[in-house]
Each structure stands twice: as C-alpha cells, then as structure tokens.
Amino acid sequence: MPLLIKNGQITTATDQFVGDILCEGETIAAIGPDLAAPADAEVVDATGKYVFPGFIDPHVHIYLPFMGTHSKDDYDSGSRAALVGGTTTLIEMCCPSRQDEPLEAFELWLSQASGKSACDYSFHMGVSRFDAGVEAQLRTIVDRGIASFKVFLAYKGAFGIDDNELYHTLRLAKELGVIVTAHCENAELVAETQAKLIAAGKTGPEWHEKSRPACVEAEGVHHLCTFAEMLGTHVYIVHTSNADAIQAAIAARRRGVQVWIETVAPYLVLDASHAEQPNFEGAKYVMSPPLRPLPHQDAIWNALADRTISTIATDHAPFDFHGQKEMGRDDFTKIPNGIPSIEDRINLAYTYGVKRGRIDLQTFVDACSTQAAKIFGLYPRKGTIAVGSDADLVVYDPDYRSTISQRTQLMNVDYSAFEGWEIEGRPSVVTVRGKIQVRDGKFVGKLGHGLLLQRKPGHL
Ligand code: URP
Ligand code: ZN
Ligand code: ZN
C-alpha cells in the first residue's frame, strides 16, 4: 500500500522545508508540496512534526560473547528497541575470537539477524587474527556485501591483534577498498595498569577510567593512524571518548590520513563520575574506552558541532547489572564492558544536543544518519530523503515529553543508564522501506522485515 506522509518539516543533513513524501513500494516516489494521495494510500499527518531520514547506528553489538558472558539482546529485542528509538539500520560488529574461522563467524552472526531483524542491517567484519587462511575468507566476506573490517587494539588475549596482524589487515583493506574501523586503546598499557591497580587493592568500578586514561586512547589513535599513513588505508575510529584522542586524529588528518571519527551516545551525556557511584552502582557505567571527566564532554560536543566528529553511534553492548556486571564486584577488570543505548541514542542527541543548542538539526541528522551512510557505502539508498532512496523515515514529535526508564524500555537489560532522564521528543512513526514499523511510538511492525544490506567497497 502506498504511504503519503503529509505536511512534515522534512529535515535532512542539508535541507529543511515543509512538504509531503509519497512512498511507493520500498522507496520514495515523490517529494513536494500538496502531493495527491493515491486512492489506496495510507496518509500520515505529520503537521508540526519533523520528518527525518531513518537513523543509522553504525556501531552496535547484538550478539556478543565477551568477558565470560553473552550480551543480553537478540534481534527480536534489539531491532524493536532500535526502531522505537528511530534507528532503521544497524551495523553490527561481527566479533570472532582468535580461534574462530571468519567465515563461520560471519555465518553465525548473520544467522542471528536473518529472518528475525525488524530493521535493516549489515556488519563490520572483525579481524582478530591474520594469516593466509583468514585473508582468503575475508575476501569472500567482502564479496558477500561487507565493505568494512573491525580491529581491536585493546582486549589483549581476546579480540586484540598484534602489529603484524594490523599491518596485513590494513594492507588487504587498502587493496580491496575496504574501510577499517578500530577500537583504539593500547592493550599493553591497559593490562599493566589494571594489574597494578588491582594489586594495590583498587578494585572498584571507579578505577576503570584510571586503568585506561585518555592518553592510552590517544596513543591507540596515533598508532592506528601511523599504520594507515604508511599503507594509505581508510580508517574509522570507533567510540572516541576524549579531547586527546580527537587531537590525535586531527593531527593524522593534517598528515593526509583518511580518518573518520565516531563518538557514542554515552559520552555525550555521561561522565566519569557516574562510574564512581557507591554500592557498585558505578558498574552500570563501565564501558571501554571509559566515561571521561566532564571537560571531555564539551570537547566532544564542539567536535560534533564543527563536524570534526562524523558520527554518533551507540556501541550498544547490553549486560545486566545483576548476574553480569556483578561478575566484577571484587575486580573491576571483570565487569562486562558496555552501556546499552540503542533505544535512547536519538532522543538523547535531540534533547541534550539540539534542544540544548549544542548542535543544530542538520548536524544531528548528519551525525546520526547521513555520515554513516556515506562512510559505509549505503548512500544515497540510506541516509537521506530523496526520490529513489529507501523509504526509511522517522516522523519525530518534538512536543512529546517523557522520561527514560528500564520499566518501559524494549532493550532486554535490567537497568537503564539514563533512568529518570527527561526526553523532549520521540519518534512517533517509523518506516523501513515503506512499511510502518512504529506507530504512536509503539512497535507495530514485523520481525523478519529487515534485510542484510549489500555494500560495495571502494565507495570513498
Ligand atoms: O565497552 C564496550 N565498548 N563494550 C563493547 C565492546 C567494544 O569495545 O566495543
Ligand atoms: Zn570497542
Ligand atoms: Zn563496540
């Protein structure tokens, strides 16, 4: 059935005007004033509301075996939570361990989403070992529509790779035209500092940030960018948390390195003091890189406002407080890392970014949708509102008022890091390829509607 969205403030990364959008089949068929509704069309009145392109979260973990446990969401809860939060496309990190074969891992991650996800999806292919066999499998995975790799410089002994593996991953990526996303923290510095703190009896979550301070992340960014400089590979720094890391990336850019910067929702609104809360409450706020002292938050907002930072993702990594975070009660290094926010990213960025005057609407759309589409080979199919683009649309109600709570969230986790926080707006209608998946802020869609998106390397 055609869908006509009438009278919305159509808002992209570059434009804003009042108009109508006609969706036919899976794509946008027409945009303009006073479009006539086809006889069989459903009409959505968007008067007084924004119409944004479907938001893209380019860094999530849905299926994640990690730190002796598994993340809590699956594509049932995760994609529904994404959609009510306005996110219509997920790019998940496929994270094999060093022992796993990449193709088997890719099939495993794909099987979690395929036929289940309510929103569209793709993967960054994790490289946690590099040898000739891995190289051959990575070539096959790229042929199957995956145009980005993921490496971890952190997590020594788990996902982390050594410099020789980093070199050959970036060499292959350059040859294939694949962008490499990277978790940048120096693994040795983290491991040694953690051991020193634990030996000194400093075992609580408040020590997590001290075990991997800003300079450790900045070193990781510099390290990655030096390899990228030598090899000419395009790189993307995930979950950038602080001013020093941003400066390291800017310095690399000045040397000609093609480097993009991502930040994630928790760093925009939370800070190191949250992980210092008593009675182990701080464990809810343990992620890596850690939440930083407050001044870094301003640096991140400023770097978003001037578009030094390209994207706002979530790094959604959901672990329960009870039973999972509690594994680290006597040792902060055993707290599963992650702060769930797949459902909250857009409302947080809108409320605490746009409404507080830290970023404008165009930057908000650019950082939460358009840039991810451009960087990861989905544009203009995704990331904008244009004739021929997928009809992924978010009708956003700026008059809605509520508070975030674990009791009402769809994320399958037993706490919210934003419990009681006010939001000033929410997605009221969300479509994925022309199909209404959210109505009046509630999921009304179909699990399994989501598709694996084909991406071609060499687009940048
Ligand atoms: O704390 C985090 N970030 N958990 C998920 C794994 C990762 O490093 O992205
Ligand atoms: Zn990471
Ligand atoms: Zn992550």
From the list 141, 137, 186, 139, the residue with the least C-alpha distance to 161 is 186
Question: Quick one: which atom of ligand 1 is closest to the CA of 183?
Answer: 8
Question: Quick one: which atom of ligand 1 is closest to the CA of 95?
Answer: 6
In sequence order, the 6+-apart residues with CB closer than 8 A to the CB of 163 are: 227
Q: What are phi and psi of 454, to 5 degrees?
A: -85, 125
- Phi-psi region for residue 441, left (φ > 0), alpha (ψ -120 to 50) or beta? left
Could you give the count of Cα atoms lying within 13 Å of 61 in the half-sphere of its Cβ?
24
Is pLDDT at 125 greater than 90 in this prediction?
yes
Is pLDDT at 97 greater than 90 in this prediction?
yes
pLDDT at residue 157, rounded to an integer: 85
Is pLDDT at 14 greater than 90 in this prediction?
yes
Q: What angle do CA 316, 317, 322 make, to 5 degrees?
A: 130
pLDDT at residue 237, rounded to an integer: 98
Pull the structure tokens for residue 291.
């939440």
pLDDT at residue 140, rounded to an integer: 98
Distance from the CA of 206 to the center of ligand 1, in angstroms?
Answer: 17
From the list 108, 258, 95, the residue with the least C-alpha distance to 170 is 258
Pocket mutation for ligand 1, best pick of 267, 288, 339 (most atoms within 8 Å of C-beta): 288
* Residue with token string 């890719």: 106
Averaged pLDDT for residues 350-363: 98
pLDDT classification of 156: cutoffs 50, 70, 90: confident
Averaged pLDDT for residues 114-143: 98
Pocket mutation for ligand 1, best pick of 287, 291, 324, 333 (most atoms within 8 Å of C-beta): 287
Averaged pLDDT for residues 315-330: 98
Q: Does this model's pTM top 0.95?
A: yes
pLDDT at residue 183, rounded to an integer: 98
pLDDT at residue 296, rounded to an integer: 98
Q: What percent of the chain has pLDDT over 70?
A: 100
Q: Whose CA is nearest to atom 4 of ligand 1?
A: 338
In three-state secondary structure terms, 408 is coil
DSSP 8-state assignment for residue 43: E
CB 126 within 8 A of CB 94: yes
pLDDT for 217-276, tens place per residue? Answer: 999 999 999 999 999 999 999 999 999 999 999 999 999 999 999 999 999 999 999 999
CB 52 within 8 A of CB 365: yes
pLDDT at residue 10, rounded to an integer: 98
Query: Rg of the chain's alpha carbons, rounded to an integer?
Result: 21
Distance from the CA of 315 to the center of ligand 2, in angstroms?
Answer: 7
From the list 177, 181, 153, the residue with the least C-alpha distance to 232 is 177
Exposed, middle or buried, 47 (CB in 10 Å: 0-12/13-18/19+)?
Answer: exposed
CA 347 to chain centre: 14
Residue type, 45: D
Distance from the CA of 319 to the center of ligand 3, in angstroms?
Answer: 13
Q: Which long-range contacts does 401-409 make (Cβ < 8 Å, 24+ apart)?
A: 402/426, 404/344, 404/347, 409/81, 409/343
Mean pLDDT of the chain, nearest integer: 98
Pocket mutation for ligand 1, best pick of 69, 152, 315 (most atoms within 8 Å of C-beta): 315
Question: Quick one: which atom of ligand 1 is closest to the CA of 152?
Answer: 8
Pull the structure tokens for residue 389.
């683009």
Q: Give the DSSP H/E element, type plus range, for residue 375.
A: helix 371-375
Find the helix packing angle between 214-231 and 243-254, rounded to 10°. 20
Question: Quick one: which atom of ligand 1 is closest to the CA of 155?
Answer: 8
